[in-house]
């Protein structure tokens, strides 16, 4: 993840858009409007109607349900600091 962060910093600010998964899940239409605007695309009623019909489910904490305690410990040892720095751990 450090390499991704390093590469991200080298991209000029006007050429990148950070999309927050949690915000996308809360309101896909708002996030997609930001993406459309950033990309310089025109918006359409047809596109907005389609986005409005898509059901997005938050799977941020799915790993807590799906992994056993040994797997969770291994995950935390491996990427716990990164998960915390990105705001995925409370």
16 pLDDT more than 90: yes
User: How many Å apart are CA 17 and CA 8, to the nearest integer?
Assistant: 10
pLDDT on residue 90: 67
Contact 1, 81 (CB under 8 A): no
pLDDT for 86? 81
pTM score, whole prediction = 0.72
Dump pLDDT digits (tens) for 26-71.
889 999 999 999 999 998 999 889 988 888 888 878 888 999 999 9
Per-residue confidence band for 22, with pLDDT thresholds at 50, 70 and 90: confident
CA distances from 78 to 16, 17, 81 (A): 28, 27, 8
């Amino acid at each position: 993840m450090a390499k991704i962060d390093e590469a991200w910093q080298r991209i000029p600010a006007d050429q990148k858009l950070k999309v927050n998964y949690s915000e996308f899940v809360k309101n896909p239409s708002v996030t997609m409007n930001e993406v459309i605007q950033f990309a310089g695309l025109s918006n359409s009623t047809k596109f907005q109607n389609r986005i409005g019909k898509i059901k997005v489910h938050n799977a941020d904490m799915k790993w807590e349900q799906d992994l056993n305690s040994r797997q969770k410990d291994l995950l935390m040892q491996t990427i716990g600091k990164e998960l915390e720095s990105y705001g995925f751990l409370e």
